[in-house]
């Protein structure tokens, strides 16, 4: 077989690392995005988001000749595409909004030759390909494939290489061809199955994690009432050979775990009871943190205007703030009293909320009580600066005097 050439559509959190890994694995890659500014940045050799180890991958891919374009006309002769565009969801209906996938697919379909392979990596709810993508395929035959992404922000480079993958295809031969392409960089096991199973597994995996985090978060509330230390309970329980309770926190954010389970709840409302409860428990955490913090503030005579939030991203050491617990907390505060909190996040270079300070010391000068919502490395390196502050640590990451925890 000739060297495979692949177009990756969507240069976001998943599309970019995937195209770099493919290039470094020996595949000819064109990274395509509608956003001309993003493409210009990449052409200049700059990254569009922060991720450990990504720059090294980029340097290697540049040497190996990765190219980028925002002009679809450059892709007319290509026949292997990987679509990796965002799938927003409607907050009210809790349903997926497949419009980006549909529009990316339509534009590729309009230019690609008969028999092309179009892989969808974007997370989609089970049944989306049959409901919204397959009907777009008319006389010109193309091969549809679903290969859901599985990498975790913060450890993407490692996981791209080592995680196993699922390829859902209508045709086993096409599945094998796609597997070969992914094998160029993926050392994990690659399973070939149907499109529907691949769609379901992705959502099921993220739901599994959501349910397990919800269990840890529910234990926080139970242990508070019982007057026992939840971390001690979890630590001792986890010594059992078949118990592995996750870490409680301020809630669940990100565009995956806090979203995907809703697809199952939305499509299977009668069946998905545990899944729905887990979502509600995790979503209740930012408000619960505020209740706990109020008690601490009252006890220490601190006014709400002198409370600050450390950490706006959805988890530690990433710059992604989608659906983050801190934003959920700020939204709740806005709704209840039209006020914000002072906040700070070392991972963010631009202001995303009212009251956000860009300098840690300025932030600290404005607050007496710090709610630790994220355990960024920056905080662990600068914990001495918290001296004299009351701290409520929702991540159990600080071992300083007088810190309050769950
Ligand atoms: N969290 C806790 N306690 C824990 C673990 C996580 O409160 O013990 C919180 C985090 O702080 C964060 C949220 O959960 O707010 C989700 O973080 P995460 O690190 O568990 O996962 P994500 O959202 O960064 O990535 C997940 C991964 N899915 C699974 O682990 C099953 C990743 O492999 C997927 O590729 C990704 O979703 C995705 O894009 O779907």
Which atom from ligand 1 is nearest to the alpha carbon of 249? 7
Calculate how far, in angstroms, residue 337's C-alpha sits from the geometric centre of ligand 1: 31
- Judge whether 5-197 and 224-404 match in fold: yes
Instruction: Identify the CATH homologous superfamily for domain 5-197.
Output: NAD(P)-binding Rossmann-like Domain (3.40.50.720)
Residue 251 pLDDT class (50, 70, 90 cuts): very high
In this predicted model, what pLDDT tens digit does every residue of 160-186 receive, in sequence order?
A: 999 999 999 999 999 999 999 999 999
d(CA 246, CA 202): 20
| pLDDT of 3 higher than 90 | no
pTM: 0.93
Closest residue to atom 13 of ligand 1, CA basis: 252
Pick the catalytic residue: 112, 256, 395, 405? 256
Check: CB of residue 160 under 8 Å from CB of residue 135.
Answer: no
First-residue to last-residue Cα distance in the chain: 58
The pLDDT of residue 321: 95
Fold of 224-404: Rossmann fold (3.40.50)
Best substitution site from 155, 207, 256 to test ligand 1's pocket, by max atoms within 8 Å of Cβ? 256
Task: Indicate if 315 belongs to the active site.
Answer: no
The CA-based angle 140-145-149, given to 5 degrees, is: 145
Tell me the chain's radius of gyration from C-alpha atoms.
23
91-126 b/e with 16+ CB inside 10 Å = b? Answer: eeebebebebbbebbeebbeebeeebbbbbbbbbbb
| Mutation probe of ligand 1 site: the residue of 17, 209, 246 with most atoms within 8 A of C-beta | 209
pLDDT at 262 over 90: yes
Domain residue extents for the chain: 5-197, 224-404
Give the range among 86-90, 196-200, 226-230 with minimum mean pLDDT. 86-90
In this prediction, residue 346 has a pLDDT band, given cuts at 50, 70 and 90, of: very high
Active site residue 339: no
Lowest-confidence range among 27-36, 191-200, 256-265? 256-265
User: When comparing pLDDT for 337 and 387, which is higher?
Assistant: 387
C-alpha 152 to ligand 1 mean position (Å):
7
Q: How far is the CA of 257 from the centre of ligand 1 (A)?
A: 6
Return the pLDDT at 2. Answer: 63
Q: What are the pLDDT digits (tens) for 105-139?
A: 999 999 999 999 999 999 999 999 999 999 999 99
Distance from residue 69's CA to the centre of ligand 1 (Å): 31
| Structure token pair of residue 209 | 């994690």
Mutate which of 86, 284, 315, 323 for ligand 1 pocket (most atoms within 8 A of beta carbon): 315
């Amino acid at each position: 077989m000739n060297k495979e050439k692949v177009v990756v559509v969507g240069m976001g959190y998943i599309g970019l690392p995937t195209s770099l890994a493919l290039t470094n694995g020996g595949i000819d890659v064109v990274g395509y995005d509608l956003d001309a500014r993003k493409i210009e940045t990449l052409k200049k050799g700059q990254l569009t988001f922060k991720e450990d180890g990504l720059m090294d991958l980029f340097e290697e891919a540049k040497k190996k000749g990765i190219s980028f374009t925002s002009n679809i006309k450059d892709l007319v002769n290509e026949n292997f595409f990987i679509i990796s565009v965002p799938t927003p969801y409607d907050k009210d209906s809790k349903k997926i909004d497949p419009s980006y996938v549909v529009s990316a697919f339509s534009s590729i379909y309009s230019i690609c030759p008969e028999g092309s392979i179009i892989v969808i990596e974007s997370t989609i709810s089970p049944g989306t390909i049959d409901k919204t993508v397959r009907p777009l395929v008319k006389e010109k035959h193309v091969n549809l494939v679903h290969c859901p992404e599985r990498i975790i922000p913060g450890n993407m480079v490692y996981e791209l290489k080592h995680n196993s993958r699922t390829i859902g295809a209508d045709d086993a031969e096409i599945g094998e061809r796609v597997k070969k392409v992914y094998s160029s960089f993926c050392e994990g096991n690659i399973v070939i199955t149907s499109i529907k199973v691949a769609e379901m597994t992705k959502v099921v995996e993220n739901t599994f994690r959501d349910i397990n985090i919800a269990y840890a978060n529910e234990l926080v509330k139970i242990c508070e009432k019982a007057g026992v230390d939840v971390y001690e309970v979890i630590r001792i329980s986890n010594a059992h050979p078949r118990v592995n309770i996750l870490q409680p926190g301020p809630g669940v954010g990100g565009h995956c775990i806090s979203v995907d389970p809703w697809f199952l709840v939305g499509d299977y409302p009668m069946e998905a009871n545990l899944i729905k409860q887990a979502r509600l428990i995790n979503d209740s955490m930012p408000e619960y943190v505020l209740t706990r913090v109020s008690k601490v503030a009252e006890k220490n005579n601190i006014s709400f205007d002198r409370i600050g939030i450390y950490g706006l991203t959805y988890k530690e050491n990433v710059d992604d703030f989608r659906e983050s617990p801190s934003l959920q907390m700020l939204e709740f505060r806005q709704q209840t009293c039209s006020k914000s909190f002072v906040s700070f996040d070392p991972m963010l270079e631009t202001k995303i909320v009212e009251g956000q300070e860009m300098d840690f010391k300025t932030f600290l000068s404005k607050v007496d009580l710090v709610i630790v919502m994220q355990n960024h490395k920056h905080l662990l390196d600068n914990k001495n600066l918290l001296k004299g502050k009351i701290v409520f640590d929702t991540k159990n990451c600080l071992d300083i005097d007088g810190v309050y925890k769950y």
